[in-house]
Amino acid sequence: MFFFRIFAPNIEYIPSDMSIFSRINTHTEHFWRDLGLYIGLVLLTTLVIVWFLPRNERKPFAYEIGEPWHYGTIIARYDFPIYKTDEALKKEKDSLLKTFQPYFNYNPDVEIAELTDLRNDLAKSKVPLPTGFADIIIERLHRFYQSGIMDTPNYNSLHSDTTAQVRVIFGKDAESVKIGYLYSTMSAYEQLLNDEHLVQERPLLQKLNLNNYIIPNIIYDRGRTESARNDLLSGISPASGMVMAGQKVIEQGEMVDDYNYRVLNSMEKEMQRRQTGSRQITNHFIGNAVYVFILVVLFTFYLTMFRRDYLSKPRCVAMLYTFITIFPIAVSLMMEHTYFNFSVYILPFALVPVFVRIFLDSRTAFITHVTMVLICAAALRYQYDFIVVQIVAGLVSIYSLREISTRSQVYITAVLVFAATCVTFFALKLMESGEDFNPDASMYYHFLINGVLMLLAYPLMFIVEKTFGFVSVITLIELSDTNKGLLRKLSEVAPGTFQHSITVGNLASEIANKIGAKATLVRTGALYHDIGKMKNPAFFTENQQGGINPHDNLTEKESARIIIAHVTDGVKIAEEHNLPVIIRDFILTHHGHGLSKYFYIKYQNEHPNEVVDKSIFTYPGPNPSTREQAILMMADTCEAASHSLKEYTEESISNMVNKLVDQQVKDGFFNECRITFYDIAVAKQVLIERLKAIYHTRIQYPSRLKK
C-alpha cells in the first residue's frame, strides 16, 4: 500500500459513467506503467554510475605525517614487511644501475664482409687514388673493427660517462670494455677522414662514400641486458623490517611520524595484496551498487512524494538525473587517472544546486546536491571532509543565487563559495590538528580554481537551456527587449496592441510579485501573448483609432473566426521565430476555452430561434495550467475591458474586476492550475489599485478671467 501511494499517478478526471472495475483497472494500469518507468530510471542511473566508480581498494584510513591518529588502536592481524618508500627504493636502484654494464655481442663476420666489399669496390672505382692509398684505408678500417664499432645512438647514450663499461661477448667469453675504447659509426668515419696519412686526400675520400662500409660489429643484446638488469634489481629488498602478528602498530592519539606512516602504508599494501582476488572485487562492486542504488531510490522517492510534477516533465527528469550522474563519473575518472595532480576539489559541484535552483526550486536543489555529493564520496578517500565542504558550498550557492539576471550575481556567488569552502576546510583542519597545526595551504589553490570555474555558470546556463529545454531569466530579459525582433515589429504594425501588451505585462508582473510567482516570466509572456494580431491588426479595436470598423462588412461568424485566429496565428509566428515553448503557452492559454462573447451574444440576439453552435465562437485553448498563465488571463481580460467603461471610478473599476475574475473562476478556467483563492483575491486587489492609478482623474486648472 505504501508503494502504491508513492508511485500512484496524479488524480485524473474519470467519467462518472465508468464502472468501479473500469476505474480500478485504469488506476492500476497507470500505477504499473509509472512504477516500471521509475525502476528503469533508477537502475539505469545506478548502473552508469557504478560502472565508472573505482574498483581498486581504497585506503581505509585517512592520516598524514604530523597529525594525531584519530582511529582506535591498531594491532597487526598477521605478519607483514615494512616496505621502503618509493624514494628510498629509487635511490637504491639508481645506485646499483650506475655500475651496471649492458651486454653487447661481437660479430667478426661484419668486418670480413665489409672489407671484402670495399676491396672489390676500390678495384672497380674510377676515382684516381694515389699508390698504396687503398691499403691504408683498409688497414685503418681493420683497426676500427678490431677495437669495436657500435651504432651511434647506443654509443652516445653511454659515452656521457667516460668511465662507463660494457660487457662484450666474444664467443663463450665476456669481457668488460671501457666505452672510451670503442667507436661509433660516426666517430669512426670522422677519425678516418682526419687520419694524418689520408687527410690530404679528403675530397677523394668523401667521393668513395666510406661511411657505407662502417657497420656496427658490437651489437646490443637487449634480452641478456634486461635479464641481467632484472637479476641485479631483484637483489634489492623492498622491505626494511617486519611487523609480527599481534604487535601494536599505532594507538589512538599517537602522532603519526615518518616510521608510523611507513608502517601504516605497508599494512594497507599488505591488505590490498591479500584482498585483490576476484571475490573481493565482486564484493566491492556489489557494495558500490547497493550504496548508489539506495541513494538514487531515495532521490526518486523525494520526487514522487514532493515534486511529482517534475517526473511528468522529461526535461526535468533528464536534467536532474544527468547532474547526479555526470559529477560522480568525473570524480571517478579523476581518481583513476592523475590529471596534472589536481584534486577533485577543483570540480565546481556547486553548479548543480545553482542550475536546479534557477530552473526548478531550492528544496530540490538541496536534495539533488546532497545526493550527488554522497554518491561522489563513494569514489573518494577523505569522504568526511569532502562531504562537509561540498554541502556547505551547495548551501551557500543556493542562498546567494536565486536567479541569474546580472553578471555580478555570478561573481558574488563564486566569491562566497570560495570563501565558504576555505573557511570550512580550515575549520576541519583545526578540529583534526594536534600540537603542530598544518593548514595544508596547497588545498586553497584548488578551492580558488573551483571558484573560478563557478564563473562558468553564466555561459553554461545557455547550454543547459538548449539541452534540456528550460528558459532562464536572462533569456526572458533578452526576449522582453522591445527595441528589436517581434516586439519592435508589433509596435510598428499594431501599436495599440503593443501598448496593451505593455500595460498587461506591468499589471501581471505586479500580481506575480505579490503572490510569489515568476514576475519576469509572466511579463515576457504578456508582451508576446497578442502577437497573432499582427496578421490582421485593423480587426482589433485598439488598432482602429476611430476609423472604419472592418467588422461592419462581416458576419458574426466571420468576425469571430478572425478574432479567434489571432491565437493560432500567434503560435505560428512564435514557432517561426523560435520562441520558447513556455512563451507559446501564454499565447495559447490567455483566452483558454473562453468565448468570443461580443460576437456570440450578438449572433444569439440576431438569431433568437436558432440553437447556436458554441464551438464556432470558442477559443481553441487550453485553459491555463500555471499560476503565471492564470495571472495573464486575469490581467489581459481586465485591462481590455477597462477601455469600455463609461466612467472611471473606484466603484466601476472594482465591480468590473470582480465580475470578470469571478466569472472566469465560475467557468472553470483555473481548475487546471495551482492558483489559490488567496492568490486570486490578491490579483483582484492589485488590478483594482493599478487600474485606478492608470485611469485617475486630474484636477482641472482654472482659466484666467478676462477683464
Residue 259 in any domain: the answer is: no
Q: Are 448 and 509 in a shared domain?
A: no
User: Has residue 22 got a pLDDT over 60?
Assistant: no
Q: Are 104 and 12 in a shared domain?
A: no
> What are 266-320's pLDDT values in tens digits?
887 777 776 655 566 677 788 889 999 999 999 999 998 988 888 888 889 999 9
Q: Are 387 and 515 in a shared domain?
A: no
Predicted local confidence at residue 269, as pLDDT: 78
> pLDDT above 70 covers what percent of the chain?
87
> What are 76-112's pLDDT values in tens digits?
877 888 888 888 888 888 888 888 888 899 988 888 8
Q: Distance of CA 596 to CAs 544, 549, 587, 707, Å?
A: 19, 17, 16, 58
679 pLDDT tier (thresholds 50, 70, 90): very high
Predicted local confidence at residue 211, as pLDDT: 82
Element (H, E) at 357: helix 351-359
Residue 312 in any domain: the answer is: yes
Give the end of a domain, one of 213, 234, 255: 234
Range of the domain at 690: 480-694
One-letter identity of residue 254: E
Q: What is d(CA 549, CA 565) in angstroms, rounded to the nearest whole number?
A: 18
Residue 585 in any domain: the answer is: yes
Length of the chain: 707
Q: What is residue 624's three-state secondary structure?
A: coil
Query: Of 629, 637, 642, whose CA–CA distance to 662 is shortest?
Result: 637
CA torsion, ordered 63, 64, 67, 71, to nearest 10 deg: 10
- The tally of domains found in the chain comes to 3
Q: Are 214 and 285 in a shared domain?
A: no
> What are 232-267's pLDDT values in tens digits?
888 788 888 888 888 888 876 678 888 888 888 888
Instruction: Give the DSSP per-residue string, 29-83.
Output: HHHHHHHHHHHHHHHHHHHHHHHHS--SPPPS----TTSB--S--EE-SS-EEEE
Residue 475 in any domain: the answer is: no
Q: Of 238 and 579, which is predicted with more confidence?
A: 579
User: Has residue 124 got a pLDDT over 90?
Assistant: no
How many CB atoms are located within 10 Å of the residue 644 CB? Answer: 9
Q: Of 600 and 666, which is predicted with more confidence?
A: 666
Predicted local confidence at residue 6, as pLDDT: 45
User: Has residue 115 got a pLDDT over 90?
Assistant: no
Give the end of a domain, one of 441, 468, 495: 468
Query: Of 554, 583, 557, whose CA–CA distance to 570 is shortest?
Result: 583
Strands 183-184 and 149-150: parallel
How many CA within 13 A on the CB side of residue 188? Answer: 30
> What are 502-551's pLDDT values in tens digits?
999 999 999 999 999 999 999 999 999 999 999 999 888 888 876 678 88
Q: What is residue 328's three-state secondary structure?
A: helix
Residue 67 in any domain: the answer is: no
Q: Are 550 and 525 in a shared domain?
A: yes
Predicted local confidence at residue 340, as pLDDT: 52
Q: Are 357 and 405 in a shared domain?
A: yes
> 373-392 in b/e burial notation, b at 16+ Cβ within 10 A?
bbbbbbbbeebebbbbbbbb
Q: Distance of CA 236 to CAs 45, 96, 242, 273, Å?
A: 48, 9, 16, 20
Instruction: Give the DSSP per-residue string, 563-584.
Output: HHHHHHHHHHHHHHTT--HHHH
Cell (9 digits) for 693:
492609478
Q: Answer for the pair 9, 275: CB distance below 8 angstroms, yes or no.
A: no
Residue 334 in any domain: the answer is: yes
Predicted local confidence at residue 144, as pLDDT: 86
Predicted local confidence at residue 23, as pLDDT: 45
How many CB atoms are located within 10 Å of the residue 297 CB? Answer: 16
- Tell me the average pLDDT across 59-66: 68
Residue 270 in any domain: the answer is: no
Q: Are 495 and 448 in a shared domain?
A: no
Residue 229 in any domain: the answer is: yes
Element (H, E) at 243: strand 239-243
- Tell me the average pLDDT across 666-692: 93
Tell the burial category of 650 from Cβ atoms under 10 Å away from its Cβ (0-12, 13-18, 19+): exposed
> What are 611-635's pLDDT values in tens digits?
888 888 899 989 999 999 999 999 9
Predicted local confidence at residue 367, as pLDDT: 95
Q: Answer for the pair 532, 568: CB distance below 8 angstroms, yes or no.
A: yes
Tell the burial category of 120 from Cβ atoms under 10 Å away from its Cβ (0-12, 13-18, 19+): exposed
Q: Are 188 and 118 in a shared domain?
A: yes
Cell (9 digits) for 351:
553548479
Q: Are 385 and 432 in a shared domain?
A: yes
Which of 205-219, 398-412, 609-623, 645-659 is predicted with the least confidence, judged by mean pLDDT? 398-412
User: Has residue 450 got a pLDDT over 80?
Assistant: yes
Tell the burial category of 353 from Cβ atoms under 10 Å away from its Cβ (0-12, 13-18, 19+): buried
Q: Are 464 and 503 in a shared domain?
A: no
Q: What is residue 530's three-state secondary structure?
A: coil
Cell (9 digits) for 24:
480500478
Q: Answer for the pair 687, 634: CB distance below 8 angstroms, yes or no.
A: yes
644 pLDDT tier (thresholds 50, 70, 90): confident
71 pLDDT tier (thresholds 50, 70, 90): low
Q: What is the pTM of this model?
A: 0.64
Query: Of 528, 493, 489, whose CA–CA distance to 508 is shortest?
Result: 528
DSSP 255: B
Give the end of a domain, one of 234, 249, 266: 234
Query: Of 129, 448, 80, 446, whose CA–CA distance to 270 is shortest?
Result: 80
Q: Are 286 and 410 in a shared domain?
A: yes
Q: Are 226 and 316 in a shared domain?
A: no
Q: What is d(CA 337, CA 331) in angstroms, rounded to the nearest whole number?
A: 10
DSSP 449: H
Q: Answer for the pair 350, 330: CB distance below 8 angstroms, yes or no.
A: no
> What are 369-422's pLDDT values in tens digits?
999 999 999 888 668 888 999 999 999 999 887 667 677 888 899 999 999 999
Q: Answer for the pair 564, 558: CB distance below 8 angstroms, yes or no.
A: no
User: Has residue 670 got a pLDDT over 90?
Assistant: yes
Cell (9 digits) for 356:
536546479
**For the domain that residue 556 is a member of, what is the CATH number?**
1.10.3210
Cell (9 digits) for 461:
546556463
Which of 471-480, 525-534, 539-548, 558-567 is predicted with the least confidence, judged by mean pLDDT? 539-548
338 pLDDT tier (thresholds 50, 70, 90): low
Average pLDDT score, the chain: 84
> 9-34 in b/e burial notation, b at 16+ Cβ within 10 A?
beeeeeeeeeeeeeeeeeeeeeeeeb
Q: What is d(CA 427, CA 405) in angstroms, rounded to the nearest whole number?
A: 33
20 pLDDT tier (thresholds 50, 70, 90): very low
